[in-house]
Amino acid sequence: MNKKLRFPRNLWRHRELWWRLTEREILGRYRGSVLGIAWSFITPLAMLAVYTFVFSQVFKARWGGLEQAGPLGFAINLFAGLIVFNLFSECAIRAPSLIVSNPNYVKKVVFPLDILSCVSVGNACFHALTSLCILLIFELIAFQTIPLTLLWLPLVWLPLILGSLACSWLLSSAGVFLRDIGQLIGVGINMLMFLSPIFFPLSALPDRWQPLLRINPLAQVIEQTRRVAVQGVNPDWPYLLIGTVITLLACEISFRGLQRSKKAFADVL
């Protein structure tokens, strides 16, 4: 078995195809609408405005350590967690139908099927970045500054992006043979949302429950995102190193699994 990573070379070889399809996916999502791609900014802005109103006027919520920002600080921390969760959930929910909904790519033309997941992840990353822009604007309003530690965010999100890609390859391949995967993922994502520290920090939980929620990989990404994007604290080096290595291996395993199983796709579809 070849011990070298195959998927980075494959992605580089098809980089132009990946870029063009991702661009088409993003623009096609808003084609025909009056405001066009501006919706990618309006939607997260509306979400953050609603969260700020609900938690400031209804729940009177505060986030520990950010009392000076008031309820807006709570909404900012909540939204930072949602950006991470939405990136992963968008990839996971779409993954089981990626190959099933494109049978022509399997039957009629020679097409690198692994690129479909890359396009899905690229689309999710674009919308995560637009949401991040809105988050930073609200940080300027609340704190009058943006922490320099934000520069660590690409490295903090690298395990998230690689993990989303690995899950997408795995689920898209499994979705061809097991059509129930899509339903199971929908239920699982709803459960994962409330088992992730989106609406609360991990430190708010009793000590006996914290190790259990730390098993959730998204919990680490969410906490580290808040550290560098909101709190102005450097990320944990073990997270960056171990998380990147694990997700690289997960990508390679899922990529090779897709390459082996795609020979049977035409018979099933």
124-176 confidence digits (pLDDT tens) = 999 999 999 989 988 898 888 899 999 999 999 999 999 999 999 999 999 99
Quick check: is 225 in a domain? yes
Does pTM surpass 0.85? yes
Quick check: is 118 in a domain? yes
pLDDT of residue 1: 45
Which string of DSSP letters, residue by residue, matches 112-154?
A: -THHHHHHHHHHHHHHHHHHHHHHHHHHHHHHSS--GGGGGHH
DSSP, collapsed to helix, strand or coil, labels residue 4 as coil
**Looking at the predicted structure, is the pLDDT value of residue 269 above 60?**
yes
Quick check: is 2 in a domain? no
pLDDT of residue 63: 65
CB 14 within 8 A of CB 105: no
Quick check: is 1 in a domain? no
pLDDT of residue 74: 80
Torsion from C-alpha of 20, 26, 32, 38, nearest 10 degrees: -130
Quickly state the pLDDT bin for 104 (edges 50, 70, 90). Answer: confident
Of residues 210 and 222, more confidently modeled: 222
Report the candidate in 26, 231, 44, 199 with the shortest Cα–Cα distance to residue 124: 26
What number is the average pLDDT over the span 56-78?
A: 68
Per-residue CA distances from 267 to 24, 181, 186, 221, 256 (Å): 29, 19, 27, 39, 20
Tokens read off for 123: 């689309």
Report the candidate in 198, 245, 191, 190 with the shortest Cα–Cα distance to residue 218: 198
How many folded domains does the chain comprise?
Answer: 1
Highest mean pLDDT among 22-26, 39-43, 104-108: 22-26
Range of the domain at 71: 7-264
Quick check: is 122 in a domain? yes
Quick check: is 55 in a domain? yes
Quickly state the pLDDT bin for 106 (edges 50, 70, 90). Answer: confident
For the chain, report the end-to-end CA distance as a whole number of angstroms: 29
- Is 48 exposed, middle or buried, given 0-12, 13-18 or 19+ CB atoms closer than 10 A? buried
Quick check: is 85 in a domain? yes
Q: At a CB cut-off of 8 Å and minimum separation 6, what does 243 contact?
A: 158, 159, 217, 220, 221
Quick check: is 269 in a domain? no
Quickly state the pLDDT bin for 45 (edges 50, 70, 90). Answer: confident
Place of tokens 């580089």: 12
Of residues 133 and 48, more confidently modeled: 133
